[in-house]
Amino acid sequence: MTHTTAPVRRPVRQLLAASVGNAVEWYDWYAYTFLATYIAAQVFPGGTGNSLVPLLSTFAVFAVGFFMRPVGGLLMGAVADRHGRRAALTVTILLMGGSSLLVGLTPTYAAAGTLAPVVLVAARLLQGLSVGGEFAASTTFLVESATPGRRGLFSSFQYVSTTAGQLTASGLAALLVGTLGETSMNGWGWRVPFLLGALLSLVGFWIRRGAHETLATATPDATASYPDTVTVPDTVTLPDTVTVPDTTATLPEAAPHPTGTREHPAPDRPGLFDALRQYPRQSLLIGGITAGGTLAYYTWTSYLPTYAELNAGVPKSDALLAGTLALAFFGLLQPVGGVLSDRWGRRPLLLFFGLGFAVLSVPLLRSVGSFWSLLAAQCAGMVLLTGFTAISAAVNAEIFPARVRAAGIGFPYSLTVALFGGTAPYAGTLFTDLGQPGLFPWYVAALCLVSSAVYARLPETAHRPLDH
């Protein structure tokens, strides 16, 4: 007996439930990125003669959170495969709410000394655990909720909702920076988004509890067929004699079977590492698909405002505003990419992304020098990036069967994101610190070229039925 995906009667409601919860989850995660410079000033000691040391420390903690994501993807993916997608989604959002509250209450280095970065690291580890599980569970939930021929469209809402959360975090950060000023932001203003995120997580938890489970585990009650009515005869004729069997016969001892019978065996619950053992090629394939995409994504959506500030002298408020406008544009593009992939296939869009970034990453990043050039470069990159983000959930889900789909996606995807996406801000800042900022665009282009080679050999899965 295996797990199968359950038919969904109200797919639009499922879409909204997944999207709202996912937006809240990612709002909490990205608030850290947009407020990194303020966190650096308050939580880490300044470096002697080098103002980038606190910022590097903050981005190092950012990367540490990413390295908990594979653990979250594996553990929460296993929960989703064994107990259902909804169970995993409710756990992840509660974890995120608690960790966001912890960041908001982190003491300053001046008040608590080394305890301050320890608390921040602990909070970021919990956030990484939550986000790793979130992607694994929400990816499978969205794609399994889709109606036929709409998996790409439903997949795109993974990044519509992610962008909504990121946009909210970016917009709130820009609003606070523009209205409170440096003194208030360094004093208490940077804490506000995290405390708000803890409250929003409770809202997301309430919404997700009402979602329909997409993973149906077959049971005797579910598989047995019963007639609607039972006809009972008016009279019952009994035989004149009844033959009683010999009571001295020895009956075989019944074996204990607490969870099933021979006719209705117990559900097959996958082990923690079943996906890696049984599908090693698919696991490696997800890593190749994701490497270039995650580096480009975190560079363009998270790190670019800091990159423009450090390397082109763009004012902090202008950089955050440009990032906010570009994110709004990016969110609107996602359903378009999903619909195009349902019609034309996944591979053409992936190649559009990969080859586009391989050719244009260097000139786009070198063109950044003012607010308008930053906005133009960021929007151009968003168009290319949509070829990956709009369909990554569908591509990943179409690789694995339902039985191990969440854990199969969660671990290799999150590990790749940790290696290449989570280190993007740190790598970019480190190149600048070493006096070689021009190397970072070449790094982005090279990795996108590697992923393009994977896309070129990827089988087309857009028009195949979802493997159960």
- CA-to-CA distance for 208 and 282, rounded, in angstroms? 30
- How sure is the predictor about 219, in pLDDT bands with cuts at 50, 70 and 90? very low
**CB contact at 8 A, 396 and 64:** no
Most confident of 87-96, 268-277, 354-363: 354-363
Judge whether residue 370 has pLDDT over 80. Answer: yes
Judge whether residue 350 has pLDDT over 90. Answer: yes
- CA-to-CA distance for 139 and 276, rounded, in angstroms? 18
Judge whether residue 243 has pLDDT over 60. Answer: no
Judge whether residue 229 has pLDDT over 50. Answer: no
- CA-to-CA distance for 238 and 259, rounded, in angstroms? 37
Q: What pLDDT does residue 437 have?
A: 79
Q: What pLDDT does residue 55 have?
A: 66
Which segment of 103-112, 156-165, 212-221, 303-312 scores lowest on mean pLDDT?
212-221
CA atoms within 13 A on the CB side of 185: 20
Mean pLDDT score across all residues of the chain: 80
Judge whether residue 236 has pLDDT over 50. Answer: no
- How sure is the predictor about 261, in pLDDT bands with cuts at 50, 70 and 90? very low
**CB contact at 8 A, 320 and 174:** yes
Measured in residues, the chain has a length of 468
Q: What pLDDT does residue 239 have?
A: 52
Q: What pLDDT does residue 105 have?
A: 92
| Residue corresponding to tokens 């004093």 | 187
> Which residue type, as a one-letter code, is found at position 98?
G
Q: What pLDDT does residue 242 have?
A: 46
> Which residue type, as a one-letter code, is found at position 406?
A
- How sure is the predictor about 268, in pLDDT bands with cuts at 50, 70 and 90? low
- CA-to-CA distance for 331 and 389, rounded, in angstroms? 10
More confident position, 346 or 82: 346
| Residue corresponding to tokens 């308050």 | 42
Q: What pLDDT does residue 147 have?
A: 82
- CA-to-CA distance for 303 and 33, rounded, in angstroms? 8
Judge whether residue 134 has pLDDT over 90. Answer: no
- The stretch 275-280 carries a mean pLDDT of 83
- CA-to-CA distance for 16 and 5, rounded, in angstroms? 19
- CA-to-CA distance for 126 and 322, rounded, in angstroms? 30
Query: CA 173, 422, 85 angle in degrees (round to 5)?
Result: 90
- How sure is the predictor about 218, in pLDDT bands with cuts at 50, 70 and 90? very low
Most confident of 9-23, 229-243, 294-308: 294-308
- How sure is the predictor about 59, in pLDDT bands with cuts at 50, 70 and 90? low
Which segment of 2-6, 136-140, 288-292 scores lowest on mean pLDDT?
2-6
Q: Of 304, 371, 25, give the one whose Cα is nearest residue 164.
A: 25
- How sure is the predictor about 381, in pLDDT bands with cuts at 50, 70 and 90? very high
Q: What pLDDT does residue 271 have?
A: 66
Q: What pLDDT does residue 468 have?
A: 61
**CB contact at 8 A, 340 and 262:** no
> Which residue type, as a one-letter code, is found at position 429?
T
Q: What is the pLDDT of residues 407-461, one digit of tens each?
A: 888 889 988 988 898 778 778 878 887 888 788 889 999 999 999 999 999 989 8
Q: What pLDDT does residue 378 have?
A: 93
Q: What pLDDT does residue 387 have?
A: 96
> Based on C-alpha coordinates, what's the Rg of the chain?
26
What residue spans of 188-232 are helical by DSSP H?
192-208, 220-223
More confident position, 261 or 301: 301
Element (H, E) at 426: helix 424-433
Judge whether residue 244 has pLDDT over 80. Answer: no
Map out the domains of the chain with their CATH numbers. 7-216+272-456 (1.20.1250.20)
Question: Burial, 229: exposed, middle or buried (Cβ in 10 Å; 0-12, 13-18, 19+)?
Answer: exposed
Q: Of 462, 417, 467, 409, give the one whose Cα is nearest residue 81.
A: 409
Judge whether residue 9 has pLDDT over 70. Answer: no
Which segment of 13-27, 238-252, 305-319 scores lowest on mean pLDDT?
238-252
Element (H, E) at 425: helix 424-433
